[in-house]
């Protein structure tokens, strides 16, 4: 998971979202706000609705590859995902910075799972509401799940490029940074599906092959536009975290070290 590029919505779509959100925020009672937020979302987020078409188009521009899911970076994104679950935080149901584009298999299990480090005590607290539980405001706190719209997940998690292709927390155990990475990896099931590490390994091989090809063409004096095309192909692939981690870890992995030494400009791709 990488930090997503910032994009603004077209003015008309942003204005509509603001109007919808104001309607929800104007309701005093929290349980009613939750209920209306859910209903309003269902009735407005429909295919062909110009506001949500614009939302989806803009989210598509932020995706890697062919509209890949922000979480797994592997499957096609086809659901607008609320980073902060709308049933817990109706104040963010129509908030543009709260939207991500995800695939069904990632969005489904994440569902309403959410946790905070409680203000005051700092204690890790799950705030998801069980079925039939009273609809009360979640306790205030700092978010645990890493938000790829607002922060760089690669600061918290590394990808094991030499063996498992799993994500691992970067910080020391017992730190909040470790806890955030561990929770994010678990809730988003980043290591659970066997096919995902396999797909990352394949992406690693593809990126390496592209870079080797670039190196060869560069040595052969290929035209600039040809090299530019190879560069673009690297930048447009799925699994951008694999590429990001290859750049970060190249000094520790001899085969990458050799490649990036020959093509140092690739470190800025």
Whole-number Å distance between alpha carbons of 166 and 162: 10
- Please select the residue that binds Zn ion; options are 71, 156, 167, 183, rule is CB under 5 A: 71
Comparing CB distances to Zn ion, the nearer of 21 and 75 is: 75
- Please select the residue that binds Zn ion; options are 103, 159, 185, 263, rule is CB under 5 A: 103
Answer yes or no whether residue 69 interacts with Zn ion by CB under 5 A.
yes
Q: What is the 3-state secondary structure (H, E, C) of 193-255?
A: CCHHHHHHHHHHHHHHHHHHHHHHHHHCCCCHHHHHHHHHHHHCCCCHHHHHHHHHHHHHCHH
Binding piece for Zn ion, criterion CB under 5 A, among 9-17, 39-47, 67-75, 161-169: 67-75
Find the shortest distance in angstroms from Cβ 76 to Zn ion. 9
The site string for Zn ion over 11-50 (x = CB under 5 A, - otherwise) reads ----------------------------------------
* Side-chain half-sphere CA neighbours of 259 within 13 A: 20
Comparing CB distances to Zn ion, the nearer of 103 and 144 is: 103
Whole-number Å distance between alpha carbons of 179 and 169: 8
Answer yes or no whether residue 114 interacts with Zn ion by CB under 5 A.
no
Assign 100 to helix, strand or coil: strand
Find the shortest distance in angstroms from Cβ 44 to Zn ion. 24
Binding piece for Zn ion, criterion CB under 5 A, among 53-61, 97-105, 188-196, 200-208: 97-105
Binding piece for Zn ion, criterion CB under 5 A, among 54-62, 101-109, 153-161, 223-231: 101-109
Comparing CB distances to Zn ion, the nearer of 69 and 161 is: 69
Answer yes or no whether residue 1 interacts with Zn ion by CB under 5 A.
no
Comparing CB distances to Zn ion, the nearer of 51 and 107 is: 107
For helices 240-249 and 195-219, give the axis angle rounded to 10 degrees: 60
Answer yes or no whether residue 72 interacts with Zn ion by CB under 5 A.
yes
Task: Give the rounded distance of the alpha carbon of 178 from its chain centre.
Answer: 18
Binding piece for Zn ion, criterion CB under 5 A, among 102-110, 144-152, 226-234, 257-265: 102-110
Binding piece for Zn ion, criterion CB under 5 A, among 43-51, 98-106, 194-202, 230-238: 98-106
- Sequence-ordered alpha helix ranges (H) in the chain: 11-25, 30-44, 50-62, 104-110, 176-187, 195-219, 224-235, 240-249, 254-262
Residues between 204 and 223 with contacts to Zn ion, criterion CB under 5 A = none
Find the shortest distance in angstroms from Cβ 217 to Zn ion. 34
- Which residues in 91-188 belong to E strands, given as ranges? 99-102, 115-118, 124-126, 141-143, 157-159, 167-169
In the block, which residue shows the tokens 């070290």?
A: 257
Nearest to 244 by CA among 115, 182, 152: 152
Comparing CB distances to Zn ion, the nearer of 103 and 242 is: 103
Which chain residues interact with Zn ion by CB under 5 A? 69, 71-72, 75, 103, 106
């Amino acid at each position: 998971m990488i930090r997503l590029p910032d994009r603004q919505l077209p003015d008309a779509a942003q204005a509509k979202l603001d109007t919808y959100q104001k309607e929800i925020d104007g309701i005093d009672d929290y349980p009613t706000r939750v209920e209306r937020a859910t209903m309003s979302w269902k009735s407005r987020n429909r295919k062909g609705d110009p506001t949500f078409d614009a939302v989806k188009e803009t989210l598509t521009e932020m995706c890697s590859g062919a509209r890949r899911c922000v979480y797994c970076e592997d499957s096609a994104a086809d659901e607008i995902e609320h980073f902060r679950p709308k049933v817990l935080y109706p104040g963010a149901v129509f908030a543009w910075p709260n939207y991500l584009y995800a695939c069904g298999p990632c969005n489904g299990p994440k569902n309403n799972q959410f946790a905070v480090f409680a203000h005051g005590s700092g204690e890790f607290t799950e705030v998801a509401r069980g079925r039939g539980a009273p609809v009360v405001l979640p306790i205030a706190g700092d978010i645990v799940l890493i938000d790829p719209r607002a922060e760089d997940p690669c600061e918290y998690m590394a990808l094991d490029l030499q063996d498992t292709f799993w994500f691992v927390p970067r910080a020391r155990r017992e730190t909040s940074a470790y806890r955030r990475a561990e929770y994010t990896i678990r809730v988003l099931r980043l290591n659970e599906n066997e096919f995902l590490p396999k797909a990352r390994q394949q992406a690693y091989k593809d990126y390496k092959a592209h870079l080797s090809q670039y190196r060869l063409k560069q040595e052969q004096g290929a035209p600039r536009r040809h090299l530019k095309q190879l560069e673009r192909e690297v930048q447009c692939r799925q699994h951008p975290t694999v590429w990001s981690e290859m750049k970060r870890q190249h000094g520790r992995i001899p085969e990458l070290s050799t490649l990036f030494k020959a093509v140092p400009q690739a470190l800025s791709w």
